[in-house]
Amino acid sequence: MQESATKAFYGFEPKSRLFLGTAQYPSPAILADAVRASGVEVVTVSLRREAGEGGAGEAFWSLVKHLGVRVLPNTAGCHGVKEAVTTAQMAREVFGTNWIKLEVIGEDDTLQPDVVGLIEAARLLSADGFEVFPYTTEDIVVGGRLLDAGCEVLMPWGAPIGSGRGLNNPYGLRTMRQHFPDIPLVVDAGIGLPSHAAHAMELGYDGILLNTAVAKAGDPALMAKAFAAAIEAGRQAYEAQPIEARDMAAPSTPVMGKAFLS
């Protein structure tokens, strides 16, 4: 089976299926090394990071521009519709892009999305010309409402942000993939190991967005490279049409013609 192209994200077709966050790295130099090692073309940036005191935000923005990657601003930390919409509008002014990763957090311990507020914020931002990447759950009803609100991408979580648990609900993620076969889907949050990312890609997902698993690794650049390789391996496995799991053994060696001892 010939490898298929990455689905377009609002007309943009990246070669890399990895989206990388830019927070929590030990230093800007280590962040730059990780971005280069991974080959990513899109990084997420928080408006709060850009607005840091003492010129840190300006220096960070200069670094990102020097890396030559596309920026996906996010509304991280927003807990309400008005806050998220206002943050998105400010991000558009700062970063000069209509792209926005929309987060509306509904619960502090799990950082689970407030899907009601998320849908409303997505509707308002889409009407205002934004191209919205919504951080959502794997609920297909919510996914449908987000598409109706104007989103052309869905970003269901794998597990709570920063937890490193992998895919808490593979069934739900598989169902979402089957229900929206033509929509770009990216697993966002909770990925801790390259094997987790490969699993998501084997389900047919179009990309992985992660941050903590790379930023907090002992060697972020090497981990970023490992994730990039795992994502491509998982995608190739999906396209190769893997065998179905079964409960009983199936001999790989033919039994016809085998010797019988009397």
Task: Using the structure block, give the residue that is written with the tokens 């179009």.
Answer: 206
Edge-to-edge order in the sheet of strand 42-46: 155-156, 131-136, 99-102, 70-74, 42-46, 18-21, 207-210, 186-188
Please identify which of the residues 15, 65, 82, 101 carries the catalytic annotation: 101
Task: Using the structure block, give the residue that is written with the tokens 């700062």.
Answer: 94
What is the SS3 string spanning the chain? CCCCCCCCECCECCCCCEEEECCCCCCHHHHHHHHHHHCCCEEEEEHHHHCCHHHHHHHHHHHHHHHCCEEEEECCCCCCHHHHHHHHHHHHHHHCCCEEEECCECCCCCCCECHHHHHHHHHHHHHCCCEEEEEECCCHHHHHHHHHCCCCCEEECCCCCCCCCCCCCHHHHHHHHHHCCCCCEEEECCCCCHHHHHHHHHCCCCEEEECHHHHCCCCHHHHHHHHHHHHHHHHHHHHCCCCCCCCCCCCCCCCCCCCCCC
> Is 143 flagged in the annotation as binding?
no
> Is 212 flagged in the annotation as binding?
yes
Short-list 201, 239, 244, 204, CA closest to 1: 239
Describe the crossing of helices 140-148 and 115-127 by its angle, rounded to 10 degrees: 20
**Residue 82 is a catalytic residue:** no
> Is 106 flagged in the annotation as binding?
no
Annotated binding residues for 1-deoxy-D-xylulose 5-phosphate, written as ranges, equal 162, 189-190, 211-212
Active site residues: 101
Annotated binding residues, written as ranges, equal 162, 189-190, 211-212
